[in-house]
Amino acid sequence: MTPHIRRLALVAVALAALGVPMTGVAQGLQEPPSPATRPEASAQVLPAGAQGRIWRKGSPPIAAGSAANFTGAVQVLAPWSGTGGSRLRGGTVMFQPGARTAWHRHPMGQTLIVTEGCGWTQREGGPIEKICAGDVAWVAPGEMHWHGATSTTAMTHVTASETVDGQTVQWLEKVSDEDYRRGPD
């Protein structure tokens, strides 16, 4: 399975678990399974010492987004990370109206799955784009971007990104109020 298809499969699983409609998300993104990847071929074995995990709602406790990396009221609801050498990290983040991240980039890219409300996202040099519940946004590796709620609507999204040499994100300067106000209605 190619890395792109594997990443999209993770997104599809996350969307299904959240009950988010899949209309159009997975169309054309499947590749035929090879004999080695068919479910009946073999069971997957976790590396020695690896354990599966369940993060219960509210555990770890809800934390306020760092003022150094966010503008406005932001709550990180459920940060999570894989085990057994997994590089996958993420969390559920809730932005109140007007709240947003600072500009940042991820060494392996980032997937955003909007679960509630509407927000905005912008890639360096591109327009501010509206994203709403059910939308999935992919940001390429190293691409500078930001995301957050619209000026009038809260937004919650699930994030997923991978680490490289222990780094998942590089935080940059904050998005100015003037630039933020350029968002679409």
**Which pLDDT value is given to residue 45?**
47
Task: Give the pairing type, strands 110-123 and 128-132.
Answer: antiparallel
**Which pLDDT value is given to residue 104?**
98
**Which pLDDT value is given to residue 63?**
86
Q: How many CA atoms lie within 13 A of 176 on its CB side?
A: 3
**Which pLDDT value is given to residue 81?**
81
Read off the pTM.
0.71
Q: Indicate the burial class of 24 (C-beta count within 10 angstroms; 0-12, 13-18, 19 or more).
A: exposed
- Report yes or no: 100 and 167 within 8 Å, Cβ to Cβ: no
Q: Report the distance separating Cα 162 and Cα 106, nearest Å.
A: 8
**Which pLDDT value is given to residue 47?**
52
33 CA to centre of own chain: 26
**Which pLDDT value is given to residue 7?**
47
**Which pLDDT value is given to residue 78?**
73
List of the chain residues with pLDDT < 50: 1-46
Q: Report the distance separating Cα 21 and Cα 12, nearest Å.
A: 10
DSSP 103: S
**Which pLDDT value is given to residue 119?**
98
